[in-house]
Amino acid sequence: MNNEKRQTTFLRPEHLAPIRSLTLRAKGIVEGLIAGYHRSPYHGFSSEFLEFRPYQPGEPARNIDWRKFAKTERSVVRLYEDETNLYARILLDKSASMQFCSTTAMTKFEYAKTLAAALAWILIRQRDAVGLSVFDNTISNSIPPRSTNHHLKSIISLLEQLSPSSNTNCAHAINRIAQQVKKRGLTILISDFFDEPEALISSLRHLSFKRQDIILLWILDPLELEFKRDARLKIRDVETGEELMLDGETAGNYYHTGLKEHQNIIEKACRELSIDCTMTTTDTPFLSAITRVLEKRRRLF
């Protein structure tokens, strides 16, 4: 088996799900990705975290962190916020619908927060300032963009504490973030997007107006994409608790029609707003979504 195949296999959710530590999951994904792209077009990867940057010949010697030099004999300069390449914000949906799982792999939320941790790790290694905002019907947690190793630990620590709750108001969260944005940057929105499309599109337009390049990572369970049942079903809304008995075949046809219409509306708006939209399922290797983000980042430089 060649290196690319080994790396792709290792990134599969069912192999990472037994690992409880989100730090170890993210580290495995990042190291697997870098190993798989040993001739990568994604420039900027570093062999260490960038809380410090290398001293450049010609800079004033007073910029050197002499305390760090005494410990490591390496000439480095403290990396400040204004020296970052890119400002990136990750918006993560933790509404109750994200806890759904029909496979032996991960719930949508476990998949989404593992993806968020890996993306934060990769972007910070490329001198990007990364922030995290978590929402259900409102923004419950928010960490502003920074680019240090300590900051990455704060992001992963928050992600490890989270669990799905409440109903969804994706549009409200996006509008709140748009109001706070001061600098041009990259916004990565990770959600199942089970929300009113008109309100969602309006909020995406608001965020785009604030000079944000936007990526939607649309996370679904495989059953949500290929819903097929012959027997009668009891359907329960995980966000409201409401229950309904339906004929399986009728429910499947109705669901697919509704999902396709919902998908078409959002994807059409994304094309009009020049927003990248990638749909993936929780049994898909993480490589696909991460590569999409890295390609988007590369186009910004």
pLDDT tens per residue across all 301 residues of the chain: 444 444 444 568 888 888 889 999 998 888 777 665 433 434 444 434 345 667 767 677 777 878 888 888 888 776 554 456 789 999 999 999 999 898 767 999 999 999 999 999 999 888 889 999 999 999 999 999 988 888 999 999 999 999 998 888 999 999 999 999 988 999 999 999 999 999 999 999 999 999 999 999 999 999 888 776 665 656 666 667 777 666 556 566 667 788 889 999 999 999 999 999 999 999 998 888 888 888 888 777 6
Q: Do the domain assignments include residue 19?
A: no
Q: Do the domain assignments include residue 240?
A: yes
The span from the CA of 114 to the CA of 99, in Å, is 14
Q: Do the domain assignments include residue 277?
A: yes
- Bin 274: left if φ > 0, else alpha if -120 < ψ < 50, else beta: left
Q: Do the domain assignments include residue 66?
A: no
Q: Do the domain assignments include residue 192?
A: yes
Q: What sign for the dihedral angle of Cα 174, 178, 179, 183?
A: positive
Q: How many Å from the N-terminal Cα to the C-terminal Cα in the chain?
A: 35
Number of independent structural domains in the chain: 1
Q: Do the domain assignments include residue 16?
A: no
Q: Do the domain assignments include residue 165?
A: yes
Q: Do the domain assignments include residue 285?
A: yes
98, 193 Cβ separation under 8 angstroms: no
Residue labelled with tokens 């109903």: 167
Q: What sign for the dihedral angle of Cα 41, 47, 48, 53?
A: negative
- Domain of 277? 82-299
| CATH code of the domain containing 89 | 3.40.50.410
What pTM value is reported for the model? 0.79
